[in-house]
Amino acid sequence: MIVVSDTSAITSLIQVGRVELLAHLYGEIFIPEAVQMELLRTHLTLPKFIRSRGPANQSEVRRLSTELDLGEAEAIILAKEIGADYLLIDESDGRRVAIREGVRVVGLLGALLEAKERGYLGSVRELAGELEAIAGFRVAEAVKRIVFREAGEDLPPP
Range of the domain at 102: 3-108
Domain tally for the chain?
Answer: 1
Q: Is residue 81 part of a domain?
A: yes
> pLDDT averaged over consecutive 10-residue blocks of the chain (158 residues)?
96 97 97 97 95 97 97 98 97 96 97 97 96 94 92 76
Q: Is residue 20 part of a domain?
A: yes
- Report the helix count and the strand count for the chain, using DSSP H and E: 9, 5
**Residue/partner pairs of 147-153 with CB below 8 Å, 24 or more apart:** 147/109, 147/110, 147/112, 147/113, 148/124, 150/113, 151/113, 151/116, 151/123, 151/124, 151/125, 153/123, 153/124, 153/125
Q: Is residue 43 part of a domain?
A: yes
pLDDT per position as a tens digit, 26-68: 999 999 999 999 999 999 999 999 999 999 999 999 999 999 9
Q: What is the pTM of this model?
A: 0.93
CATH of the domain at 71: 3.40.50.1010
Q: Is residue 113 part of a domain?
A: no
The closest of 132, 157, 64, 24 to 3, measured between CA atoms, is 24
Q: Is residue 74 part of a domain?
A: yes
State residue 158's pLDDT score: 59
Q: Is residue 143 part of a domain?
A: no
State residue 84's pLDDT score: 98
Q: Is residue 124 part of a domain?
A: no
